[in-house]
Amino acid sequence: MNVLVPSTLAGALEMAAEHPTYALLAGGSDIVPALKKGEDVPGLISLGKLEELREIAVGENEARIGASVSVAEMMEHRELMERFPLLHDAAQVFGSRQIRSVATIGGNIANASPAADLVPVVLVLGGMADIAGPEGKRSLGMEELIGSYRQRALKPGEIITSIRLPLGPWSGHYYRKIGRRSALNIAVASLAAVAKAREDEGWSVRLSGASLSPTPRRMLHAEALFLSPGILSHDAVTRALKQDIEPRSGMRGSAEYRLRVCANMVMEFADALGR
Amino acid sequence: MKLNFLLNKRPVEVEVDPRRVLLEILREELGITSCKEGCGEGECGACAVFLNGRLVNACLVSAVMAEGAEVMTLEGLMEETAHIRDAFVAHDAAQCGFCTPGFVMAAYDYLRSGGDPSPSAIRAALDGNLCRCTGYRNIIDAVADAAGGKK
pLDDT digits (tens, 9 = 90+) for A75-119: 999 999 999 999 999 999 999 999 999 999 999 999 999 999 999
Reported as a pLDDT band with limits 50, 70 and 90, residue B151 is: very low
Percentage of residues of chain B with pLDDT beyond 90? 91
Task: State whether residue A48 sits within 8 Å of chain B by CB.
Answer: yes
Q: Which of A31, A72, A96 sits opposite B45 (nearest CB)?
A: A96
Q: Which of A3, A70, A102 sits opposite B60 (nearest CB)?
A: A102
Question: Cβ A98–B106 below 8 Å, yes or no?
Answer: yes
Greatest pairwise CA separation for chain A in angstroms: 61
Q: Which of B42, B65, B125 sits opposite A48 (nearest CB)?
A: B65
Select from A29, A92, A97 the residue whose CB has the most chain B CBs within 10 Å, as the one to mutate to test that interface. A97
Averaged pLDDT, A227-251 = 94
Residue A185 pLDDT > 80:
no
Q: What is the pLDDT of residue A275?
A: 80
Residue B135 pLDDT > 90:
no
- Mean pLDDT check: name the lowest of A29-43, A171-185, A198-212, B125-139: A171-185
Averaged pLDDT, A4-11 = 95
Q: What are the strands of the beta sheet with A56-58, ordered from one edge?
A: A56-58, A62-66, A159-166, A128-133, A136-141
Indicate the average pLDDT of chain B.
94
Q: Which of B21, B41, B55 sits opposite A101 (nearest CB)?
A: B55
The torsion region of residue B31 among left (phi > 0), alpha (psi -120 to 50) and beta comes to left
Residue A151 pLDDT > 60:
yes
Q: Which of B45, B64, B110 sits opposite A44 (nearest CB)?
A: B64
Q: Which amino acid is at A93?
A: V
- Closest residue on chain B to A99 (Cα): B56
Angstroms from B41 CA to nearest CA on chain A? 6
Q: What is the pLDDT of residue A127?
A: 98
User: What gap in Å lies between CA B8 and CA A249, rounded to an integer?
Assistant: 47
Residues of chain A contacting B48 with CB distance shorter than 8 Å: 98
Question: CA triplet A179, A194, A240: central angle to 5 degrees?
Answer: 70
Question: Cβ A102–B61 below 8 Å, yes or no?
Answer: yes
Percentage of residues of chain B with pLDDT beyond 70? 98
Reported as a pLDDT band with limits 50, 70 and 90, residue A183 is: low
Residues of chain A contacting B128 with CB distance shorter than 8 Å: 95-99, 183-184
**In the A/B pair of chains, how many CB contacts fall below 8 A?**
85
Does ipTM top 0.90?
A: yes
Residue B150 pLDDT > 60:
no
Angstroms from B91 CA to nearest CA on chain A? 24
Averaged pLDDT, A150-165 = 96
3-state secondary structure chain A: CEEECCCCHHHHHHHHHHCCCCEEECCCCCHHHHHHCCCCCCEEEECCCCHHHHCEEECCCEEEEECCCEHHHHHHCHHHHHHCHHHHHHHHCCCCHHHHHHCEHHHHHHCCCCCCCHHHHHHHCCCEEEEEECCEEEEEEHHHHCCECCECCCCCCCEEEEEEEECCCCCEEEEEEECCCCCCCCCCEEEEEEEEECCCCCEEEEEECCCCCCCCCCCHHHHHHCCCCCCCCHHHHHHHHHHHCCCCCECCECHHHHHHHHHHHHHHHHHHCCC
Question: Cβ A98–B67 below 8 Å, yes or no?
Answer: no
Q: What is the pLDDT of residue A182?
A: 67
Residue A63 pLDDT > 80:
yes
